[in-house]
């Protein structure tokens, strides 16, 4: 009988050891699962933060797109708008820019023709001046380039005088 009790005690001890090992494995698996769950939860939090930031960037991009469209529309309307008075700032700005460019080109042309220099591509100079004149004429027709009759006459005379000097210079060079 003592052998039977010892056998039962040994079997119980072996089963306890097996159950302890199984429980340790289960405990280890639970700890690993807990670590995985914590990592997933932390990553999910990071993902939510990243998604939130991406949404904010998308909102900013939409605002920027709307602003660009509004500015483009404003500039287009501004370019197509007929000025209401001769004091239009746009007309004054365009007129000032174009006249300054034209004056600089004409002065350069005069300086070179008076010195008899031919390094300047006169054909290019004529093309530039002609483009400027065409631009002024086009803006005048659209009412975007406002100038008095006297200013227009002075501008045209200056242009014609310069074209004549260039033409005379080319004629003299051709005779040489």
CA distance 42 to 150: 78
The parts of the chain modelled with pLDDT lower than 70 are: 75, 78-93, 95-96, 100, 117-124
* Side-chain-facing half-sphere of 13: CA atoms under 13 Å: 6
Local structure of residue 56 (DSSP, 8 states): H
Residue 124 CA to its chain's centroid (Å): 32
pLDDT tens sequence across 90-127: 666 676 677 767 777 777 777 777 777 666 666 667 77
pLDDT of residue 92: 66
Q: Hey, where are the domains in the chain?
A: 1-80, 85-175
φ/ψ region of 114 (left if φ > 0, alpha if ψ in -120 to 50, else beta) reads: alpha
Predicted TM-score of the model (pTM): 0.36
CA distance 107 to 103: 6
Tokens matching residue 134? 């065409």
Roughly what angle, to the nearest 10 degrees, separates helices 122-142 and 89-115? 160
Neighbours of 132 (CB within 10 A): 17
CA distance 5 to 117: 128
């Amino acid at each position: 009988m003592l052998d039977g009790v010892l056998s039962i005690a040994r079997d119980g001890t072996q089963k306890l050891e097996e159950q302890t090992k199984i429980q340790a494995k289960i405990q280890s698996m639970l700890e690993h699962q807990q670590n995985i769950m914590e990592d997933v939860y932390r990553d999910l939090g990071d993902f939510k933060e990243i998604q939130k930031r991406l949404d904010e960037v998308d909102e900013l991009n939409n605002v920027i797109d709307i602003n660009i469209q509004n500015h483009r529309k404003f500039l287009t309307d501004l370019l197509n708008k007929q000025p209401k008075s001769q004091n239009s700032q746009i007309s004054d700005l365009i007129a000032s820019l174009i006249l300054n460019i034209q004056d600089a080109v004409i002065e350069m042309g005069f300086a070179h023709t008076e010195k008899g220099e031919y390094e300047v591509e006169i054909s290019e100079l004529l093309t530039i001046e002609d483009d400027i004149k065409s631009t002024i004429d086009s803006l005048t027709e659209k009412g975007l380039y406002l100038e008095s009759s006297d200013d227009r006459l002075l501008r045209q005379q200056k242009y014609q005088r310069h074209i004549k000097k260039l033409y005379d210079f080319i004629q003299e060079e051709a005779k040489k």
